[in-house]
């Protein structure tokens, strides 16, 4: 019995020692930070420069290949998957010099496709597409609608790329800031003088996510809207989505 108690005590000490690591980031995101600092200005990407030197993204994605994010905290997992998603998108465009829209990938007879988001690669020992990461892992796994404001699809109407990689320790404040910034961007969301809300189509496509978190779409908006107070009964119009590239070559 004494030996069992000693073993349990040792296990408790081991778990306590591991706790800081479990709350930390899964891997270093310095390569993504270097790309965001050098090749991105206010969400606009210099894909020409990025295509000439994809080394940082290649290193990050190689590290992510055999990472084990499920061992880490909820915040660290979210940061990992968002950073990998954004790195994959940047790399996917950079590998296609001259691309004008992600909807052009696999396009036949002029019909846009979602082939860009269905391209598969190994992350965390799993072969996953961008769609898999966004919908199966992030949306279904974490039920956090603010994630829609930090995922970037390389298109003009997408939320701007975060200025820095996401990190577990500051995740909640980063998501709050991203939601407020997205709603305050008049190119993506605005209220007309007549009181109509003109919102990004993101709020139409994923309305259920926002309603599940706040009870209704107006209630979610009220949490993060930093402009004039909303009544909650404003008519809503969803803006057309601009899929042109969020950068230049």
Give tens-digit pLDDT for 157-170: 999 999 999 999 99
Q: Is 4 a residue whose pLDDT tops 90?
A: no
Q: Is 51 a residue whose pLDDT tops 90?
A: yes
Confirm whether 56 is domain-assigned: yes
Edge to edge, the sheet with strand 197-199 lists: 190-191, 197-199, 236-238
Kindly report, residue by residue over 84-104, the tens digit of the pLDDT.
Answer: 999 999 999 999 999 999 999
- Average pLDDT for 213-231: 93
Confirm whether 154 is domain-assigned: yes
Confirm whether 165 is domain-assigned: yes
Q: Is 64 a residue whose pLDDT tops 60?
A: yes
Confirm whether 214 is domain-assigned: no
In sequence order, the β-bridge partners of residue 126 are 123
Domain range enclosing 161: 2-178
Percentage of the chain beyond pLDDT 70 is 90
| Window from 11-25, 123-137, 185-199, 225-239 with minimum mean pLDDT | 11-25
Tokens of 87: 């790195």
Q: Is 19 a residue whose pLDDT tops 60?
A: no
Calpha distance 91→32 (Å, rounded): 11
| 31-34 contact pairs (CB < 8 A, 24+) | 31/55, 31/56, 31/57, 31/59, 31/60, 31/87, 32/56, 32/57, 32/60, 32/83, 32/86, 32/87, 32/165, 33/164, 33/165
Question: What local confidence, expressed as pLDDT, does residue 110 receive?
Answer: 76
Kindly report, residue by residue over 113-156, the tens digit of the pLDDT.
Answer: 999 999 999 999 999 999 999 999 999 999 999 999 999 999 99
Q: Is 2 a residue whose pLDDT tops 90?
A: no
pTM exceeds cut of 0.85: yes
Calpha distance 216→233 (Å, rounded): 11
Confirm whether 218 is domain-assigned: no
Confirm whether 147 is domain-assigned: yes
Confirm whether 248 is domain-assigned: no
Confirm whether 146 is domain-assigned: yes
The enclosing H or E element of 41 equals strand 40-41
Question: What local confidence, expressed as pLDDT, does residue 24 receive?
Answer: 64
In sequence order, the β-bridge partners of residue 121 are 128
Count the domains in the chain: 1
Residue length of the chain: 249
């Amino acid at each position: 019995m004494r030996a069992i108690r000693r073993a349990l005590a040792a296990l408790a000490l081991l778990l306590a020692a591991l706790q800081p690591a479990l709350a930390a980031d899964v891997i270093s995101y310095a390569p993504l930070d270097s790309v965001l600092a050098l090749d991105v200005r206010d969400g606009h990407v210099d894909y020409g420069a990025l295509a000439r030197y994809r080394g940082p993204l290649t290193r990050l994605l190689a590290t992510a290949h055999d990472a084990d994010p499920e061992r880490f905290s909820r915040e660290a997992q979210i940061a990992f998957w968002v950073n990998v998603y954004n790195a994959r998108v940047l790399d996917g465009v950079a590998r296609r010099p001259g691309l004008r829209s992600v909807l052009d990938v696999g396009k036949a007879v002029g019909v846009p496709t979602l082939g860009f988001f269905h391209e598969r690669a190994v992350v965390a020992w799993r072969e996953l597409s961008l769609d898999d990461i966004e919908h199966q892992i992030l949306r279904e796994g974490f039920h956090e609608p603010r994630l829609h404001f930090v995922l970037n699809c390389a298109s003009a109407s997408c939320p701007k790329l975060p200025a820095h990689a996401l990190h577990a320790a500051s995740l909640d404040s980063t998501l709050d800031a991203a939601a407020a910034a997205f709603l305050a961007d008049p190119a993506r969301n605005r209220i007309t003088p007549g009181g109509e809300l003109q919102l990004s189509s993101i709020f139409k496509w994923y309305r259920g996510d926002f309603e599940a978190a706040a009870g209704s779409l107006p209630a979610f908006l009220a949490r993060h809207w930093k402009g004039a107070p909303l009544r909650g009964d404003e008519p809503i119009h969803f803006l057309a989505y601009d899929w042109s590239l969020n950068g230049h070559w």
